[in-house]
A and B are shown apart, each in its own frame.
Chain A
Amino acid sequence: MTSARRLLIAAPVIVFATSWLWIPDTYTDALASATDAVTGWILVAAGLVTWSRRRESRTGPWLVLAGYLWYVGDLYFVFPTASIVPLLSFGLRGGYDILLAAALLSFPGGRLTSHLHRAAVAALAMAYAARAIAFFAVAIPGRWYPDNGTPNPFLMVHDRALAANLVLDLDLLKGAVILAVGLLAVARLRSDAVATRRVLRPVVAGGLAWAVMSFLLDFGAWLQGNFHLQLLPWANTDWWPIPEYLIRGSAAPIGFLVGAFMLRTARSAVVELVTGFEQHPLRAQLQPALRRALGDPGLCVLYPAEEGAGWVNEAGVLTAMPDSSARSMSTPILSGGRTVAVILHDTSLLEDPGLVSAIAATVRLAIDNEQLTLALEAQLAETRASRTRIVDAADAERQRIERDLHDGAQQRLVSLAISLRMLGDSLGDDASKEIRDELSAAEIELHGAIDELRALAHGLDPVILRESGLGPAVTALAARCPTPTSVELNLDGRLARLVEATAYFVVAEGLANVTKHAQARHVTIRLLAGSGRLLVEVEDDGRGGAQTTHGSGLRGLADRVAAAGGQFNVTSLPGAGTRLVADLPTAQ
């Protein structure tokens, strides 16, 4: 039911209650009239709030209906001349007590869960019915209710004393049942689930006040044979009817209103739950978060054991699943047709099925999310590891090729060069100029090949880096750079091969870029090792404006550094030089 529709249902009684503020001259005085109006409001408000927070609960509608019934006793003021309305008004008054009793014993779930509670409400309803029937049978117009000229059509008993005793006895019976309901409510506060205890407290306090006052009024009337409480010394004062009336009528509704406002909506519980989640691991915090959000300190979350049957707690310890009892029950959390967790919670949660399903959905999302995150992280770690392995393998392969080139092809070429020279020498003066020129050209070609092969091998795996380490290798790079270059080294011994190779690669590529593009006057290379990291910096004072996006060299550097688990950063504003920084982890 929409809130607009609920409001529409309550509208007549709200209008009626408000109208009471303007007709105090027909009533004893303005204050009593206002009290009547406000009590009706409070009942309806408590009903509407409970209704909106617990849509499936009957407590809300009961309280709204109680608001209607509250005004039954006042009908004769509105229609004093209409037929038997005054008789009905006086005979049927107090019907709202039944609804208050039912609401008091069922708030906020709307179900009378115990036989005793149902019996108490039924007894109250019967006492009310009996009292109403008795009243109609004995009520003499003008004595029991205002006479408007219409006789009581139901009048059967004419013995005044018997009539008065009968009604007063039944009133006392009803008062006693109400007192019993009040005490049952208190007992409920002691025994009911912790989760609902918090909201029950104001409700029970108001209800108890209502029950005690109802009983006292009826008991006093019964003692005195009068409808007014004479037990208390101040009962005859002018002001007493106001608090008496307030407690009798408004204490319970006020309690309900406070309790209704304290009711947590499913939405607010979910919000609290979701905002309570930090980063994973989720399992460690799910149970406390649910306990907090649902106000159920006995709540447990269990997960299916990964291997075999059984359940584990958040620490992975095998835990027996407790049997469902009167107080606790389990709600499975399903994801993809599989039970991913079970929440053991207080049965009182079921009073609000919306809450349970919202919580279940939230927990499912959280678990799914965590599993996705874990899977993603595992994948990412594997990707990183495989990237590092690929770079490592490529490095090893380059080293192997470098070795093959030096020990194979290069040796053969040098040997061939020796043979050619020997051949040239053996020819002596007999050979023609043509043959000599040809031989000389072949020798030049051969030396070119040897040089190229050497450069290739050096590019593949600089032996100075492997043998002497990063410092000498980078210094050698700097010495070869056409742009004046200063080197600042703060290295402590050798580093892992991958780290050295990556750092060397950054410096080599950085210097190559400076030579090609930067038009710099000076370059500074910094290598700073410490705290498990190696900081590699190549900074020039050139024209800047280097692009990381389509400069494949810088892009390749970033990839290379990332493969070593590091971070790469380029600062290159036009006119302000270029600065490459690679931050590499050295601790393995």
Chain B
Amino acid sequence: MSNDAPTTALRIVIADDSLLLREGIVRVLERLGHHIVGVAGDAAQLLAIVDSISPDVAIVDIRMPPTHTTEGLDVVREIRAKHGTAIGLLVLSQYLEPVFATELVTDMQGGAGYLLKERVADPGVFADAVRRVAAGETVIDPGIVASLLRPAGREPMAELTERERAVLELLAEGRSNQAIGDRLGIATKTVETHVNAIFSKLALEPAEDDNRRVLAVLAFLRSTRS
């Protein structure tokens, strides 16, 4: 989590209808050492660019012309359907809406992320997210995870320890055991123990794969059962 240039420079396409914001994102990414290989103002432009360039990552505003609602979600699905997991997809969104985020990552099965727009101004989080979607990981905005965890007092959640809740939060953001251990300053082995405890307390099927693990946790958090 540093502002230093990443080990790998990525080829990135940006789609956002706001020129102001597009410029901002470009500046941040360039400072991070990535190559901006194309910018688009709407979904059609983005598709054309992606088809001709095949970038490593596409960063897409959820809200674009013509309806200014959730076009971004549709276009990333289209890209995924066409190009497979070769292109990491990061949706930037104004909406703190867990439904959009969880549906997106569930559909994508890795290599996709849902990030609140203002995270661009937090280069640590933003750079991390870009790198992870490129690496095929799943990224969920910490704000979304927090809103999913907020309804406290639900029976199985109440059984988790303080440390287990912290692990669960990072788990839901899509992080690996290694990343969780780094963040919390504990050994990867200890993280594994916590994850097992969480899965058993929440009565979830154990999942070896990181992505499946995220989806299981998200599915649990989204469910309204108590």
Q: For chains A and B in complex, what number of residue pairs have CB atoms within 8 angstroms?
A: 100
Report B63 CB to chain A, min CB distance, Å. Answer: 6
Q: Size class of A's contact patch?
A: 35 or more
Contact among A466, A476, A486 with B225 in the assembled complex (CB-CB below 8 Å): A486
Contact indicator A479/B98 (Cβ below 8 Å): yes
Contact indicator B20/A476 (Cβ below 8 Å): no
Say which one of B6-14, B34-42, B114-122, B181-189 lies at the interface with A: B114-122
Contact indicator A466/B121 (Cβ below 8 Å): no
**Alpha-carbon distance between A53 and B226 when the two chains are bound, in angstroms:** 81
Say which one of A159-167, A346-354, A457-465 lies at the interface with B: A457-465
Report A21 CB to chain B, min CB distance, Å. Answer: 97
Can you name the residue of chain B whose Cβ is closest to the Cβ of A464? Answer: B97
- A429 in the interface, Cβ–Cβ < 8 Å? no
For B1-21 the 0/1 string (1 means CB < 8 A from A) is 001000000000000001011
**Alpha-carbon distance between A235 and B100 when the two chains are bound, in angstroms:** 116
Residues on A with C-beta less than 8 A from B226 are 484-486, 522
**Alpha-carbon distance between A121 and B221 when the two chains are bound, in angstroms:** 108
**Total count of chain B residues near the partner, CB < 8 A:** 38
Contact among A403, A407, A443, A464 with B121 in the assembled complex (CB-CB below 8 Å): A443
For A431-466 the 0/1 string (1 means CB < 8 A from B) is 000000000000100010010001001100001101
Can you name the residue of chain A whose Cβ is closest to the Cβ of B22? Answer: A415
**Alpha-carbon distance between A406 and B20 when the two chains are bound, in angstroms:** 14
**Alpha-carbon distance between A422 and B224 when the two chains are bound, in angstroms:** 41
Contact indicator B31/A422 (Cβ below 8 Å): yes
Contact indicator B121/A421 (Cβ below 8 Å): yes
Interface of A (DSSP majority class) = helix
- A157 in the interface, Cβ–Cβ < 8 Å? no
Can you name the residue of chain B whose Cβ is closest to the Cβ of A408? Answer: B18
> Quick one: given A417-B121, A425-B31, A475-B224, are A481 and B94 in contact (CB under 8 Å)?
no
- B163 in the interface, Cβ–Cβ < 8 Å? no
- B151 in the interface, Cβ–Cβ < 8 Å? yes
Contact indicator B95/A463 (Cβ below 8 Å): yes
Residues on B with C-beta less than 8 A from A418 are 21, 24-25, 27-28, 120-121
> Quick one: given A417-B118, A458-B96, are A422 and B222 in contact (CB under 8 Å)?
no
Can you name the residue of chain B whose Cβ is closest to the Cβ of A417? Answer: B121
For B139-174 the 0/1 string (1 means CB < 8 A from A) is 000000001101111110000000000000000000
**Alpha-carbon distance between A454 and B68 when the two chains are bound, in angstroms:** 15
Can you name the residue of chain B whose Cβ is closest to the Cβ of A443? Answer: B121
Contact indicator A466/B69 (Cβ below 8 Å): yes
**Alpha-carbon distance between A192 and B97 when the two chains are bound, in angstroms:** 88
Can you name the residue of chain B whose Cβ is closest to the Cβ of A479? Answer: B224
Given contacts A406-B94, A418-B120, A484-B155, list 17 more A-B pairs with CB under 8 A: A406-B68, A407-B63, A417-B118, A417-B120, A418-B21, A418-B25, A421-B121, A422-B27, A422-B28, A464-B97, A479-B224, A480-B150, A480-B151, A482-B150, A484-B224, A485-B224, A486-B226
**16 CB-based A-B contacts, threshold 8 Å:** A403-B68, A406-B63, A407-B68, A410-B94, A410-B117, A413-B118, A414-B24, A415-B21, A419-B24, A422-B27, A422-B31, A425-B31, A447-B121, A479-B98, A484-B154, A484-B155
